[in-house]
Amino acid sequence: MSNIFDQLDKIYNEIDSDYMGKEIAARSKGAHKKEAQYFNKRIFNDLAYFLFMFTRLEDRVRNLSDTLIDYKMATLTDWKARRVWEIIDRQKKNDSLHFMNRVALLTQKAELITI
């Protein structure tokens, strides 16, 4: 069984191909208004699928970061380390922990290379 992303990819491509075919047909007939309408429909289709996919990513990051925060709160005993996670946990609970800070919790910090 395919996952939701595979299903969405299939549906997206079906819709995009349909609009593309109509766009090309309108272009070949010199129907520039119709061509532009189908072009715009393809753009809106792109935006709709991007937005949906980004919300899935955002949800995944939220779930993973919540799990990490909960784990740290349950396992840390050193007060200095725990204090930092208590602040993060409070931000999580009042929904003020920003998305990119959640991403930062899940990714390794890169060192900047200067040339």
- Taking only the tens place, the pLDDT of each residue in 92-106 is 999 999 999 999 999
Quote the number of domains for the chain: 1
| Residue 115 domain-assigned (yes or no) | no
Whole-angstrom CA distances from 92 to 10, 57, 73, 89 are 35, 17, 12, 5
Percentage of the residues of the chain whose pLDDT score is greater than 90: 83
- Taking only the tens place, the pLDDT of each residue in 24-48 is 999 999 999 999 999 999 999 999 9
| Residue 65 domain-assigned (yes or no) | yes
| Residue 112 domain-assigned (yes or no) | no
Give the residue from 63, 70, 55, 74 showing the smallest Cα distance to 102: 63
Host domain of residue 28: 4-106
| Residue 78 domain-assigned (yes or no) | yes
- What pTM, to 2 d.p., does this model score? 0.73
